[in-house]
A and B are shown apart, each in its own frame.
Chain A
């Protein structure tokens, strides 16, 4: 099987050389920025996106492409920079990436995994989300809306589970109270920020000491969740 035409967003000549060498025989169109990719590529198809672009983060770009009708059914591959972090990789998948590689990677492995991915569903396959996400001992099933640590189910309210999912999708990012009210509570900023603090405390308690401590308060600003 050959790899179909590929759009590759990277400003790094070493990354470009890696993609071209790995996908030898395929037509690779290189775009030097997110702006160039959005101009050149109308989707659907296959796009390989560097996590570091001059004008946008690759993870943000994947989320944008996955949310847009013209590119939603494309195969999106994200190239991260080392060292490999399972939490960062999981966040990329949750943002809509179909595959994630940490560079430097083996070109043969890259090609083989890409071909497998395409063979399973083609470049226009609908993205399939895993039934369960693992973050060390923490397991979360978005569909079943259940979570466990070392196999022991967590007792979370519906709102606490939504909060946990929001933090997992936005790992390593500062989240303000007003954004949580808007995105999780679906309320405007007129609602009490104190309600957020109380619910975060409950979520921390529900997650237990080791995982609860991963939700850190950023004084005066909000919260950040780091695994």
Chain B
């Protein structure tokens, strides 16, 4: 039997961490969470998630920098990363998408859209 896809959610805001984790679970995924970028990078390297939902404005290093560090690990080089953030400035969005993000979702968000994007990223029908 195929195991459930694993999703890592990194967000320093407990409310959003909970919401996103709940939506990922609804998509049929096993969920890992981290409240800081550095914990997220360590967890990603250790657990090899199938998808990463990553806040941008994190207290230690930015979500973009965390994504760069994750991408250096060959096992994470192609893992879909969706940025999930209040940062709507054009330069920020452009930078996020240039990093090869599978998605860029602005907060506050539509739960149905986030669910659809998570399913698409982990290929759940």
> Which A positions have Cβ atoms within 8 angstroms of B?
33-35, 38-39, 54-57, 60, 63-65, 67-68, 70-71, 170, 172-179, 189, 218, 220-222, 224
If A67-B90, A71-B90, A221-B19 touch, whether A34 touches B105 (CB-CB below 8 Å) is no
Given A57-B113, A60-B88, 5 more pairs with CB closer than 8 A:
A56-B105, A71-B90, A172-B112, A221-B15, A222-B15
Are A35 and B86 in contact, CB atoms less than 8 angstroms apart? no
Complex contacts, A33 vs chain B, CB 8 Å = 97
A-B contact count (CB 8 A): 81
B74 part of interface (Cβ distance < 8 Å): no
If A56-B104, A60-B88 touch, whether A172 touches B98 (CB-CB below 8 Å) is no
Min Cβ gap B36→A in Å is: 16
If A65-B90, A177-B15, A220-B18 touch, whether A35 touches B108 (CB-CB below 8 Å) is no
Are B15 and A34 in contact, CB atoms less than 8 angstroms apart? no
A189 to B97, CA, bound (A): 28
Mask: chain B, 1-30; 1 = CB below 8 Å from A; 0 = not: 000000000000101101100100000000
Min Cβ gap B52→A in Å is: 15
Are A55 and B106 in contact, CB atoms less than 8 angstroms apart? no
A194 to B106, CA, bound (A): 25
Of B104, B108, B113, the contact of A179 (CB 8 Å cutoff):
B108
Count of interface residues, chain B, beta-carbon cutoff 8 Å: 27
A31 to B13, CA, bound (A): 34
Complex contacts, B22 vs chain A, CB 8 Å = 221
Are A174 and B19 in contact, CB atoms less than 8 angstroms apart? yes
A177 to B16, CA, bound (A): 10
Are A60 and B106 in contact, CB atoms less than 8 angstroms apart? yes
Minimal Cβ-Cβ distance residue in B for A68: B90
Interface residues of B in 96-114 (CB under 8 A from A): 97-98, 101-113
Min Cβ gap B55→A in Å is: 12
Interface CB pairs A-B, < 8 A, 7: A34-B97, A64-B89, A64-B90, A70-B90, A172-B112, A220-B18, A222-B19
Complex contacts, B108 vs chain A, CB 8 Å = 170, 173-176, 179
Min Cβ gap B116→A in Å is: 9
Min Cβ gap B57→A in Å is: 11
Are B93 and A38 in contact, CB atoms less than 8 angstroms apart? yes
Minimal Cβ-Cβ distance residue in A for B99: A35
Of B88, B98, B110, B111, the contact of A63 (CB 8 Å cutoff):
B88
